[in-house]
Amino acid sequence: MATPTADPVDALIKSIRIPPRPSLLADMQRELAADDPSPDAIGRIVARDVGMSGALLKLANSSFYGGKRKAKSIEQAILFLGINQVASLMTGLLARQAIATDNAALANFWDISGRRAQAMVYLSRRLRIGEPDVAHTFGLFCDTGVPLLMDRFPGYADTFAAAAEDTERPFTALEDERHSTNHAAIGCLLARNWGLSSDVSWAILHHQDYSVFDDGATGDGVRSLIALSLLAECAIQKYQGLVESVEWNKGGDRACAYLGLSAEETDDLLDELHDSFHNDH
C-alpha cells in the first residue's frame, strides 16, 4: 500500500520557528482564568522578572496608559490600570523579548506595533467598542508573522515590500504565491500557541481580508478589531507623512460602514489619533 505523502505546506509551517509561550505568560493566564483573579498574585508573577517589572512600570506611566497619577510599584500599576491592561502590556513585552527583530528591514517593527496598539486602545475607548486590553493585544500581535517569515525566508523582505504596494490584491496573495503561507496565518498560529483570545487569533488571520465585514458568520468582536486596526493603520501612515494608505484604500470604506462612521467622523478620529501620537512624545 502506498504511504500517504506528507502535506508540504504542513511541513513548511513546522519549519518556521514559532517561539513557545513564555512560562511567565502561562502563569499569568492561569491566574486571570481563575474565578476571582488576585491582583497580588499577578503582581508576584510580574515581579519574578526584574527587567519586565521595570519595563512595565515605564509603560504604565507613559502618557498613553498612565493617568495623572504615577505608579511607583507594580502593585500601584495594577491598581491604576487594572489587571487585564497590565496583563496585556506584559504580553506585549514578552513578545518583544521572544520575537527577534534584529533584521534591518524590521528596525521599526515594534515601534509601529506599539503605536498601533496605542491607537487601538484609544479607538476602543473612544468608540466604546470591545475591550481596550483585547484591542491592545491585537494591535501588538497582528503583524508578528512578519519577523517570523523574515527569519525563515531570505527573500521575504522583497515579498513584503512588493505586497505592501499591491493596490489590487489582498496583502497575503503574493506571500502565498511565493512562500506557500502568509504572515496572517503564521501570526494566528503564534497567537493560538500563546493562548491569546480566539477573537485576537481569528482577527489576526483575517486582518487584511476585508470581505469579513460582509460576512455575518464572522463574530462582531473579530470584525471590530479589523475595522479599528484599519483606522489605526491609516493614522500611522499619515503620522509618518505618507499621503496614501494602500490598505485603507482597499478596506477603509467598508470598515467605516461597519463601524457606522461618517466621512466627517472618520476624519475627526484620524486627527485625534494624530494628536495623540504627537502628545506621547
**What contacts 122, CB < 8 A, 6 or more positions away?**
64, 272, 273, 276
Of the pLDDT bands very low, low, confident and very high (cuts 50, 70, 90), residue 245 is confident
Is the pTM higher than 0.95? The answer reads no
DSSP structural state of residue 192: H
pLDDT value of residue 109: 92
**107-153, pLDDT tens digit by residue?**
889 999 999 999 999 999 999 999 999 999 999 999 999 999 999 99
- Report pLDDT for 8: 65
pLDDT band at residue 230 under the 50/70/90 scheme: very high
Residues 82, 273, 278, 118, CA torsion sign = positive
Radius of gyration of the chain (CA): 19
63, three cell numbers:
502618557
Query: Residue 188, Cα to own-chain centre: how many angstroms?
Result: 10
Contacts for 218-221: CB closer than 8 Å, 24+ residues apart: 221/130, 221/134
DSSP E strands in 76-179: the ranges are none
SS3 content of the chain, % helix, strand, coil (to 5): 70, 0, 30
Give kind and range of the element (H or E) at residue 124.
helix 109-127
Task: Show the DSSP H helices in 218-262 as ranges.
Answer: 220-239, 246-259
- Is the pLDDT at 199 greater than 90, yes or no? yes
Give every CB contact of residue 44 below 8 A, 6+ residues apart in sequence.
none
Q: DSSP class of residue 236?
A: H
Angle, CA 117 vertex, CA 184 and CA 219 arms, to 5°: 55
The C-alpha cell that represents 176 in the structure block: 502565498
Instruction: Give the list of residues 6+ apart from residue 14 with CB closer than 8 angstroms, or none.
Output: none
Average pLDDT over residues 263-279: 89
Distances (CA, A) of 64 to 121, 169, 262: 9, 35, 26
Confidence at residue 146, expressed as pLDDT on a 0 to 100 scale:
96
Q: Are 179 and 186 in contact (CB under 8 A)?
A: no
Of the candidate ranges 68-72, 135-139, 232-236, the one whose mean pLDDT is the lowest: 68-72
